[in-house]
Amino acid sequence: MIDAQIVATVGALSEESVRQALEQALAGRWRGQKVLALIPDHTRSLPLPMLFRNIVDILHDVRQLDFMAALGTHPPLSEERLLQLIGITPEERAARFHKIGLLNHHWDDPSALTSLGVIEAEEVKALAGGSWHASLPERVDICINQAALDYDHILIIGPTFPHEVVGFSGGAKYLFPGISGPQVINATHWLGALAGVVGTIGVKDTPVRAMIHAAAARLKTPTTLAALVVEGHDLCGMFIGDLLEAWRAAADLSAQRHIRWCEKPFQRVLSCAPPMYDELWTAGKAMYKLEPAVAPGGEVIIYAPHLEVVSHVHGRYIYEAGYHILPYFLNDWERCKHIPLGVLAHSTHVRGAGVMVNGVEKPNVRVTLASKISAADCARLNLGYLNPAEINAADWQEREAEGILYVPRAGEILFRLKNTGV
């Protein structure tokens, strides 16, 4: 059931209308209970400070209210960055919000995790369907942050966008992989790689979504979802209620608002990654969202002049693996199977689809990085290099008729071709 929903036909939702919807759905529901609110980190767009203040106000009668950043494997946030995320000052924290817990998820700390059971081999195969491959784990331990069991209720607050691994983000993804352990993270991301970005992104029902929902069904803690649809940084839709129903409604609206249908493929794309993507681990979205609209042999330039890190957490493994198409790894599985599956998945997502011909890798799209990462490192990573100082964005604008596309803020809008299924 959806307890409250609101959609803007034009422009953004007003703060007053958002508050009214939140009050309708949440006010008085969990009086005297312990509530854990799951939120995204800085790599997702949403008006979180406004939502934080309203939710804290509306849930004034709960016994305990804590907010946890559902980081997956993203680096933990300092206290300062957590405060910036929710839009309060240290002085406000001390005076007004001192009873509110601000928490990070720690995916790699076994003491912070608990198991909800196991997805056994036959269920893994059934959930994966046609995307199943022997490289998938035979069984998946459904580990989740212990906090998910320590509260009376979980409230998930997060946006829904087309997503390269799961089809559309949001919903139960804030549980798995948001606050889960490494097995679920690796298994879901690798299953997404086996399914392929082009066949997954912007599709509501995918093998990874099925696995995530199967894992979420093991969690007994009651969960409510505030599913958001965001344009720019403004809310244009909100659906509050059942975890699956609210997510499905948000995904349907996201499909209308976040997919741009193109008449013909582009030869070259300047895809500008915004500063919120401060690692290539997340800035890769500037490739994922464009690949379906690029012609074979075309090029996507990830333009991120601020970027100087591949991944704080996974950089060592990424440099070892490089960026390659899926068949490159599958054809030489014994050599690379020690690398975490989530890292291999990220590699294939950034490199895009392609084939192996007589042992030679043939990607469909050339991927070039224009950032602070050096030409030597790009070569080591198997990516093209372009000096960002040599790029003039104005040279790329208004040239779509020539097959050249400029995307000023890439990562959340999906570009697809009309009448091709791609």
Q: What is the mean pLDDT of residues 309-325?
A: 97
* Single-letter amino acid, residue 23: E
What average pLDDT does the chain have? Answer: 96
Mapping DSSP to helix (H, G, I), strand (E, B) and coil, where does residue 148 land?
Answer: helix
CATH of 261-417 among 1.10.10.10, 3.90.226.30, 3.90.550.10, 3.40.640.10: 3.90.226.30
Q: Is the peptide bond preceding residue 159 cis, with omega within 30 degrees of 0?
A: no
pLDDT in tens, 62-118: 999 999 999 999 999 999 999 999 999 999 999 999 999 999 999 999 999 999 999
Tell me the C-alpha distance between 199 and 211, whole Å: 17
Task: State the DSSP H helix or E strand holding residue 294, giving kind and residue range, or none if neither.
Answer: strand 294-304
Average pLDDT over residues 343-367: 97
* Rounded-to-integer distance, Cα 289 and Cα 283, Å: 11
Parse the chain into domains and list their residue ranges.
2-257, 261-417
Q: Is 370 helix (H, G, I), strand (E, B) or coil?
A: strand
Q: Are 309 and 277 in contact (CB under 8 A)?
A: no
Q: What pLDDT score was predicted for residue 154?
A: 98
Helices of type H across 34-136? 48-58, 79-86, 90-95, 121-128
3-state secondary structure of 28: coil
Rounded Cα gap, residues 168 and 160, in angstroms? 6
What gap in Å lies between CA 55 and CA 59, rounded to an integer? 6
Question: Where does residue 419 fall: left (phi above 0), alpha (psi -120 to 50 degrees), or beta otherwise?
Answer: left
Residue-wise pLDDT tens digits, 216-264: 999 999 999 999 999 988 999 999 999 999 999 999 999 999 999 999 9
Q: Give the chain's length.
A: 422
Which pLDDT belongs to residue 420? 62
Average pLDDT over every residue of 374-402: 97
Read off the pLDDT of residues 352-362 as tens digits, 9 standing for 90 and up.
Answer: 999 999 999 99
Query: How many helices (H) and strands (E) in the chain?
Result: 17, 20
pLDDT in tens, 261-284: 999 999 999 999 999 999 999 999
Q: What CATH topology corresponds to 2-257?
A: Rossmann fold (3.40.50)
**Each residue's pLDDT tens digit, 111-137:** 999 999 999 999 999 999 999 999 999
Pairing of strands 113-119, 140-145: antiparallel
Which tokens go with 328? 């490159």
Distance of alpha carbon 381 from alpha carbon 385, whole angstroms: 10
Query: What whole-number percentage of the chain has pLDDT above 90?
Result: 97
Q: Are 90 and 125 in contact (CB under 8 A)?
A: no
pTM of full prediction above 0.85:
yes
- Given a cut of 80, whether residue 422 has pLDDT beyond it is no
Span 165-190, average pLDDT: 97
Specify the pLDDT at position 6.
Answer: 97
Structure tokens at 273: 């990654």
167 with 201: CB under 8 angstroms?
Answer: yes
- Residues of the chain with pLDDT > 70: what percent? 99
Q: Residue 421's pLDDT is what?
A: 55
What whole-number distance in Å separates Cα of residue 141 and Cα of residue 158? Answer: 25
Amino acid occupying residue 321: A
Residue with tokens 């020539």: 402
